[in-house]
Amino acid sequence: MNLRSPFWLLPLAVVLAALLLVPQAQAEPAGSAVLANDSGAPGAQSVTLTNKSSDKLTVAVRLAFNPADTPLRIDSIELYLGPQEGSSQSWPVLVRIERPAGTAPSGDVQASTRQRLQVDHEGWYNIPVGGIYAGGGSSFVVAVKSEDFPWNTAPRLFLDNSTGIPAGYNYYGQYFTNWQEHYAYWPDPAHIGNLMIRAHVTTGQDALKTPSPTPTITPTATGTPTPTRTATPTWTVTPTRTATPTRTATPTRTNTPTRTATPTQTPTWTPSPTTTPTPTTTPTPTSTPRPQGVFLEMGPTRDAYVVELYPAENFGLEDHLLLGSAPAGGMHRVLLGGFPLAGVPASSDVLEATLGLRVEQAQLSADMRVALHRLLGPWEEAEVTAAS
């Protein structure tokens, strides 16, 4: 293996206005309600949720409810989405239910769910949530983030056709932080409407009953594409990252890209090949079919690199990863770990795992081979060294 110069990578783990509360006496079943700020009709504006380093857009809405209707079970969240040129039809999204701080998102997560939506038309897309909201008060926040690769184009999330909407209901941020309220985010906020994000809830004693099973994804084609919609405005909230103190012992780096977050990796689990049955084996028509495989997306909870010629130095808190070799530091090795497996049943068979790495910058004088090895012992991001 001829490694001449390090290159940088980022690990990819493989993400309001008037309240419309439908009374129990109307179309919704008893004990059910739809919480919404939008009018139901898309307007001329839309936003694209993306993980790109220059445009890490997250959106949130605050939805109000009557405290007298509690307990409150959040059954599902609906997003009004539409495909756009180059967007992924199979789109992973992360939805969080947060307790508000005043009227803004607080980061106090009450529930979260990841779903992969098949966005092939413009309309409402349903994401099941479930669970009793125990945050109290008279409102909760729904925050939405893309979980797709940074270089993939996400579908459009529409805003409604309202104007002059009330403040304190629509928010725009970056990776669930740096939130800006509607009137601080948009250049012309008075002529731009509400984010089309809704919640289906069950209220009162009905919320304590076991809900009926719901499909994983229920897209509903309600609406037709409108070619005259204007382009998404440029994201303007890009806070300056605090500079990392320079380590004197590390090899010289030039044009170091900023690593602001660790997107999500996509390990793909596929069914293993089945063996060819012997001629005497006859399948029984009434036998239970083999269950389908589960596809999980997860990201590392820690990452670091170690440098051969600086065996006692820790580089776990750097904003980038170095892989390869350099005269000033010798071999550089990347470590990734802490993949959360809470969603994997204990009886599962892991059939396949795929690691994705994105090269941010390369300085190579020859071809470079990269090998992947299993780590056999525990390690801590802020403590691991080449010697340890």
Residue 239 has pLDDT above 80, yes or no: no
Mean pLDDT of the region 340-351 = 76
Residue 227 has pLDDT above 60, yes or no: no
Q: DSSP class of residue 94?
A: E
Residue 194 has pLDDT above 90, yes or no: yes
Closest CA to 145 of 133, 158, 157: 157
User: How far is Cα 364 from Cα 368, in angstroms, rounded to an integer?
Assistant: 8
Is the distance from CB of 126 to CB of 113 less than 8 angstroms? no
Q: Picking from 130-144, 194-208, 284-298, 357-371, which range would have the lowest pLDDT averaged per residue?
A: 284-298
Closest CA to 128 of 36, 54, 217: 217
Number of other residues whose CB lies within 10 A of the CB of residue 143: 23
Number of other residues whose CB lies within 10 A of the CB of residue 3: 20
pLDDT at 54: 60
Q: DSSP class of residue 317?
A: T
User: How far is Cα 72 from Cα 91, in angstroms, rounded to an integer?
Assistant: 29
148-187 pLDDT tens trace: 877 788 999 999 999 999 999 999 998 888 999 999 999 9
Residue 374 has pLDDT above 70, yes or no: yes
79-98: b or e for each residue (b if 16 or more CB lie within 10 Å)?
Answer: bbbbbbeebbeebbbbbbbb
**Residue 346, amino acid:** A
Residue 345 has pLDDT above 70, yes or no: yes
pLDDT at 212: 58
Is the distance from CB of 343 to CB of 299 less than 8 angstroms? no
User: How far is Cα 155 from Cα 235, in angstroms, rounded to an integer?
Assistant: 16
Mean pLDDT of the region 212-237 = 39
User: How far is Cα 364 from Cα 366, in angstroms, rounded to an integer?
Assistant: 5
Question: Percent of the chain having pLDDT more than 90?
Answer: 36
Two structure tokens written together for 4: 């001449």
Q: pLDDT category, 236, cuts 50, 70, 90?
A: very low
pLDDT at 262: 40
Q: pLDDT category, 4, cuts 50, 70, 90?
A: very low
Place of tokens 């580089």: 315
- Mean of the per-residue pLDDT values for the chain? 75
pLDDT at 301: 79
Q: Picking from 42-46, 305-309, 333-337, 351-355, which range would have the lowest pLDDT averaged per residue?
A: 351-355
56-102 pLDDT tens trace: 799 999 999 999 999 999 999 999 999 999 887 889 899 999 999 99
Question: Percent of the chain having pLDDT more than 70?
Answer: 68
User: How far is Cα 106 from Cα 100, in angstroms, rounded to an integer?
Assistant: 5
Instruction: Give me the residues paired with residue 307 across strands.
Output: 332
Mean pLDDT of the region 40-64 = 88
pLDDT at 195: 98
pTM of the prediction? Answer: 0.54
181-208: b or e for each residue (b if 16 or more CB lie within 10 Å)?
Answer: bbeebbeebeebbbbbbbbbbbbbeebe
Two structure tokens written together for 202: 């069950």
More confident residue, 317 or 388: 388
pLDDT at 284: 43
Q: Picking from 38-42, 236-240, 330-334, which range would have the lowest pLDDT averaged per residue?
A: 236-240
pLDDT at 293: 65
